[in-house]
Amino acid sequence: CARSPMQCRPGHNLWQPTVPAANYITRSQSTPIAHTTWLRGGGADGPSSPFSVLRLAEDNLLNAGGAVHRRQYGGLLAEGTSEPPDWTELFEDPTRPLIVDVGCGAGRFVLLAAWLGKVPHIVCGGSTAPVHALAGQPCNALGLEQHAQLVSRANHWASAQGLAGRCAFVAANVKPSLTAVLASYPGPIAVLAIQYPDPHYREDRHVVTPSLVADCAQLLSEGSLLLLASDVHATACHMTQMFTAHARAQFQLHPLHGKQEAVFEHDGRDDIDPYISKLRAGPVQPAVAEAGTAVLEGGERWLMHNPLGLATEREVFAQEITHRSVYRTLLTRTSG
């Protein structure tokens, strides 16, 4: 490979160059920086970052809408919202195809989608292929997040950048309420992404459950895309296995997984963030520990690049700062 070793690492994104250390806040490998510290310091918005087009640092918006305190995860087990939003208040044209980020965190993935303004094409090795008939059409972008402070700040960002009306964030607990939030959307859901959920090792706290899988099958129409991604191998395996086990008739692997140049296999290394490993409550559950087997038919074939060309904060941090692989699965909703 003519690129640097980091750029050739499996799971590296398509937004190229390796980011110079001066543009991000980083530390030596012996003292790794925490993801939250990196975000608070403005690391996600350096000049070589894919988020630089949002001008959040340039326009002094990093803390707009108030300070964001430590996230609390007890709400994962609480009741979610039962009322759908008023789509006419959120979007100028609620009949446009919708891109949804479930558990959007700070929200830069959604902001990027709105900034681009169109349903993305599938990206592979520099070439593109249509997602489906909706590819290239004007779209809306929606972020769902249970942390109200993050939602408030992200909506402030969208308004300040002139993206309101095409981009919105809603406070919602997606585990019990995904269908309640999305079922009334007037237009089609083109892309639904579940990316980098916190890798809880308690089975009752996994974001992707059989009920959430059923919600996704109900909400998505034939041809819609579902993107699963994590930098923790066991979490990526769990999410993919939930869909293959509980919705095999409704979802199939995107043909991109069949292209040798587009995939990689797990190399057996432990990719768990050292800060995350401190948060484990008890031993890893057997179902998670054994998740590396039979994830995908024919073996593990994770997508090497982000097929949508849209990054998340965690993706940049994992690949550019801590140099870990990202495990991606792209599913297509079938007619089943």
Q: Which residues are designated catalytic?
A: 198
DSSP state, 21? G
Q: Give how far Cα 288 sits from Cα of 205, 216, 230, 236, 330, Å.
A: 12, 22, 14, 10, 21
42: helix, strand or coil: coil
**Pairing of the two strands 98-102 and 140-145:** parallel
Q: Give how far Cα 93 sits from Cα of 50, 158, 176, 227, Å.
A: 27, 16, 27, 24
- Residue 109 has φ and ψ, to the nearest 5°, of -60, -45
> Quick count: other Cβ atoms within 10 Å of Cβ 325?
21
DSSP H or E segment with residue 227 = strand 225-230
Joined together, the tokens standing for residue 245 give 């086990």
